[in-house]
Chain A
Amino acid sequence: MADATLRFAPLNLGRWMIWGATALALAIAPHVFTQSFALTLLTQMGTLIIFALSYNMLLGQCGMLSFGHAVYSGLGAYVTVHALNMIGKGALALPVSMLPLVGGVAGAFFGVLFGYVTTKRAGTTFALISLGIGELVFACVLMFPGFFGGEGGISSNRVAGAPVLGITFGPAIEVYYLVAFWCFVSMVAMFALTQTPLGRMANAVRDNPERAEFIGYDTQKVRFLQLVLSSFFAGVSGALSCINFEIVTAENVSAIRSGGVLLAAFIGGIPFFFGPIIGAAVFIFFVVALSGFTHAWLLYLGLFFLAMVLYAPGGIASLILMQIPVMRAGRLRELAAPYLLALAAFLVAFAGLIGLVEMVYRLSDANLDTNMSLAGIAFNAKAQAPWIVSGALLAAGLVALRYAARFVGERWAAIQQDFEAGRA
């Protein structure tokens, strides 16, 4: 026996199909959604997908709750914008399409620098230190206007250097395909990392650091390596956002960005590799689409996040995956009625909430007109009737939602019981 190890590696057809479908979806998306608005949305989604996945390398895979992840993407973006300006001046011979590597290396460099301090501790203390580092970097960015451009930031022009294969990155579609390419490569790379020994050790350190130490692994080193790799991908996404927006400001390293990526990853579902991809898409939808409709979009986003933390800690991904066994058993139909009831109750409560929130907003500033209309109904925010109606809608909706939740729970439990009985 020359080789004592048994190797069983069948062709994983499902995996090839999923990745193939992902690549195909990325390639045809701009041809399905042809409006220029959709293209902006898709480009930003691609950037945030990389960022959210890199964040999940910390929170989901290694149990490190970071409140300062924007430091790595932001500093990566700053280095990229300087590289881009150098290409523009002819001082650096590098095609623009390779700039994400520059951003990634810069991100990883700062990951080594700050990671040395932050990964000394785990758990809550790590969360606090990452927050402190974030504030530190943000304050420093405003302190050194020479490199960081102060409040106004540093702007650039992405049409720089000699075009490769005729690609100038002038039109937005070319930028989209650049983002899509790097997004796909990063997704594959980050998924591959979860399959390596380091990726597995990261899971072990997340679940039980003490036992990981007992079998001889240095948990601090695992956290450190994971942070450095994660900041590499954060840097890649920072570079892509720099190419897309052609400007980098202090906002790129701010606590708002760090909080945003945390929200995106969590809403999508941190226990699953693909969760943050869903989360990034939903988050960009909130940011770009909803912010055009209402001033209170951040409030709705916050409420959505809190609801997820309270009732679905596995995120949207877990909600979807929970339905699959039920669907396989062909019993999704039994759940249709309670689901529809819950949806109706939610819509009633939400309508009431929107009414209240929009009226509060109109009253907050004396310069705003209190005559307003929602869903085609005109009213005055100073009158009593709309307050009573909205309040009643919200209260009735919440009561109905509670009832519907019990209804869903009962049906769900019945189905699960049958599953258990079938297994036994």
Chain B
Amino acid sequence: MEFFLVQLLNGISYGLLLFMLSSGLTLVFSLMGVLNFAHASFYMLGGYFAYQVSVKIGFWPALVIAPLLVGVLGMAVERFGLRTVHRYGHVAELLFTFGLAYLIEEAVHLVWGRAAVDYRVPPELDGPLFAIYTSQYPAYRVFMMLMSVAMLVSIWLALTRTRVGLVIQAALSHPQTVEALGHNVPRVFMLVFGGGAALAGLAGVIGGNAFVTEPGMAAAVGPIIFVIVVVGGMGSLAGAFIASLLIGCLQTFSVGLDWKLAGLFERFGWSVSPDSAFASISQITLAQTAPVLPYLLMVLLLIFRPRGLMGTRDG
């Protein structure tokens, strides 16, 4: 029970972090039809900017400054890059963001080196907050959850209760009509792209010190958030939310378990001889398969429900 609760909390906090990333990606995708390959790179930049700022003036200013910087960078990318390739079609846009992800990773290598940087949890939040049975639960994890939830609620309110939010929602489905009504739709695109980038940057700020800030962090998280977008159904925010929590929990739970197929067979009284071809598969623990599980989930879903969990169309 103790193991279960701790892992559940970890899974939810990780899942919420993933949703901060995938929500921006989904919004940009449904608005502009662009799948931003560099989204995880903005997450990485958030972590690195926060490290740089926190070394100079501290963590709390970094929490505000780093996402803003990433957001401004995102807007510049949309204005001067994406808008230019837009006329060449979706493949060109995808290739542009792919090249950008490549470039950001190399720039990070060049500026901060290839090793991980020492980006730490602030001392105020470094330590346990409460205990679950015998294990202490770290305060920073709770802070992460609170930050994510607060951010997501405010975005939801902004999208549904403000004028700008309503224009964005309208531009999602009827961009031409919105333009005809006198709104500057390209500017809406730029704002949403920048907002998505800032959200990814914020995820980097609070995720970078909880996990590790290194040049490989974009490549590690990037494919996972794409899997979330596919599993949730392309362009569906609710689907992305469910898929984020599902994959967050799936990964944290499987890392903590060392179940093997061989163990399952023994329960039924079968044994696998060590020289059979099946032996190497039966000896793999569930923890070892953790990196594969999200992709397996995606493949299975595509075979049985190609539109994704909450998707509406078979694209």
A140: nearest chain-B partner, CB-CB: B292
Task: Check: B223 CB closer than 8 A to any chain A CB.
Answer: yes
Task: Check: A306 CB closer than 8 A to any chain B CB.
Answer: yes
A296: nearest chain-B partner, CB-CB: B110
Cross-chain contact A143 with B292 (CB below 8 angstroms)? yes
Cross-chain contact B110 with A357 (CB below 8 angstroms)? yes
Known contacts A63-B91, A132-B223, A132-B226; is-contact A299 B99 (Cβ 8 Å): no
Contacts of A146 in B (CB 8 A): 280
User: How does the 8 Å CB contact mask read for B97-115 relative to A, with 1 for contact and 0 for none?
Assistant: 0111011001101111100
Task: Check: B302 CB closer than 8 A to any chain A CB.
Answer: yes
Task: Check: A288 CB closer than 8 A to any chain B CB.
Answer: no
> A68 to chain B: closest CB distance in Å?
10
Task: Check: B262 CB closer than 8 A to any chain A CB.
Answer: no
Known contacts A65-B95, A117-B303, A132-B223; is-contact A305 B113 (Cβ 8 Å): no
User: How does the 8 Å CB contact mask read for B50-93 relative to A, with 1 for contact and 0 for none?
Assistant: 00000000000000000000000000000001001100101110
Considering the chains assembled together, what is the distance between the CA atoms of A59 and B302 in angstroms? 22
User: How does the 8 Å CB contact mask read for A144-180 relative to B, with 1 for contact and 0 for none?
Assistant: 1010000000000000000000000000000000000
Known contacts A120-B306, A146-B280; is-contact A309 B85 (Cβ 8 Å): yes
Cross-chain contact A266 with B95 (CB below 8 angstroms)? yes
Contacts of A121 in B (CB 8 A): 302, 306, 314-315
Query: Which residues of chain A in 42-86 are interfacial with respect to chain B, using CB atoms and an 8 Å cutoff?
Result: 59, 63, 65, 67
Task: Check: B230 CB closer than 8 A to any chain A CB.
Answer: yes
Task: Check: B137 CB closer than 8 A to any chain A CB.
Answer: no
Contact of B84 among A128, A136, A298, A310 (CB under 8 A): A310
Contacts of A120 in B (CB 8 A): 302, 306
Task: Check: B210 CB closer than 8 A to any chain A CB.
Answer: no
Contacts of B84 in A (CB 8 A): 310
User: How does the 8 Å CB contact mask read for B202-236 relative to A, with 1 for contact and 0 for none?
Assistant: 00000000000000000100010011011000100
Contact of B291 among A139, A144, A266 (CB under 8 A): A139
Stretch at the interface among B147-155, B156-164, B293-301: B293-301
Considering the chains assembled together, what is the distance between the CA atoms of A381 and B313 in angstroms? 56
Cross-chain contact A360 with B106 (CB below 8 angstroms)? no
Cross-chain contact A124 with B303 (CB below 8 angstroms)? no
> B281 to chain A: closest CB distance in Å?
8
Compute the total of residue contacts between A and B using a CB distance below 8 Å.
120
Contact of A124 among B88, B90, B100, B106 (CB under 8 A): B90
User: How does the 8 Å CB contact mask read for A328-367 relative to B, with 1 for contact and 0 for none?
Assistant: 0000000000000000000000000000010011001100
B91: nearest chain-A partner, CB-CB: A65
Cross-chain contact A259 with B296 (CB below 8 angstroms)? no
Cross-chain contact B289 with A143 (CB below 8 angstroms)? yes
Contact of A135 among B109, B223, B230 (CB under 8 A): B223
Contacts of B254 in A (CB 8 A): none
Query: Which residues of chain B in 252-289 are interfacial with respect to chain A, using CB atoms and an 8 Å cutoff?
Result: 280-281, 284, 288-289
Query: Which residues of chain A in 115-131 are interfacial with respect to chain B, using CB atoms and an 8 Å cutoff?
Result: 117, 120-125, 127-129, 131
Which applies to chain A's interface (DSSP): helix, strand, loop or mixed? helix
Cross-chain contact A309 with B99 (CB below 8 angstroms)? yes
Considering the chains assembled together, what is the distance between the CA atoms of A365 and B298 in angstroms? 40
Please indicate which of the listed interface residues A63, A124, A129, A136 has the most CB atoms of chain B within 10 Å of its own CB: A124
Cross-chain contact A135 with B315 (CB below 8 angstroms)? no
> B303 to chain A: closest CB distance in Å?
6
Contacts of A136 in B (CB 8 A): 292, 295-296, 299
Considering the chains assembled together, what is the distance between the CA atoms of A133 and B219 in angstroms? 15
Contacts of B109 in A (CB 8 A): 298
Cross-chain contact B102 with A128 (CB below 8 angstroms)? no
Task: Check: B94 CB closer than 8 A to any chain A CB.
Answer: yes
Considering the chains assembled together, what is the distance between the CA atoms of A67 and B223 in angstroms? 11
Task: Check: A105 CB closer than 8 A to any chain B CB.
Answer: no
Task: Check: B27 CB closer than 8 A to any chain A CB.
Answer: no
Known contacts A305-B99, A306-B100; is-contact A123 B315 (Cβ 8 Å): yes
Cross-chain contact B113 with A306 (CB below 8 angstroms)? no
Considering the chains assembled together, what is the distance between the CA atoms of A187 and B140 in angstroms? 57
Contact of A306 among B35, B96, B112 (CB under 8 A): B96
A138: nearest chain-B partner, CB-CB: B291
Cross-chain contact B288 with A128 (CB below 8 angstroms)? no
Query: Which residues of chain B in 20-48 are interfacial with respect to chain A, using CB atoms and an 8 Å cutoff?
Result: 33, 35
User: How does the 8 Å CB contact mask read for A279-316 relative to B, with 1 for contact and 0 for none?
Assistant: 00000000000000001101101110110011001000
Task: Check: A255 CB closer than 8 A to any chain B CB.
Answer: yes
> A381 to chain B: closest CB distance in Å?
13
Contact sample, A vs B, 22 pairs, CB 8 Å cutoff: A117-B299, A117-B303, A121-B306, A121-B315, A122-B315, A125-B315, A127-B94, A128-B35, A132-B230, A136-B292, A143-B284, A255-B219, A263-B99, A301-B102, A302-B103, A306-B81, A306-B100, A306-B103, A309-B85, A313-B85, A313-B88, A313-B92
User: Which B residues have a C-beta under 8 Å from some C-beta of A?
Assistant: 33, 35, 81, 84-85, 88, 90-92, 94-96, 98-100, 102-103, 106-107, 109-113, 219, 223, 226-227, 229-230, 234, 280-281, 284, 288-289, 291-292, 295-296, 298-299, 302-303, 306, 314-315
User: Which A residues have a C-beta under 8 Å from some C-beta of B?
Assistant: 59, 63, 65, 67, 117, 120-125, 127-129, 131-133, 135-136, 139-140, 143-144, 146, 255, 259, 262-263, 266, 295-296, 298-299, 301-303, 305-306, 309-310, 313, 357, 360-361, 364-365
Known contacts A127-B94, A360-B111; can you find 6 more A-B pairs with CB under 8 A?
Answer: A63-B91, A124-B35, A125-B234, A132-B230, A143-B284, A262-B95
4 tightest A-B contacts by CB?
A136-B295, A302-B103, A299-B106, A302-B102
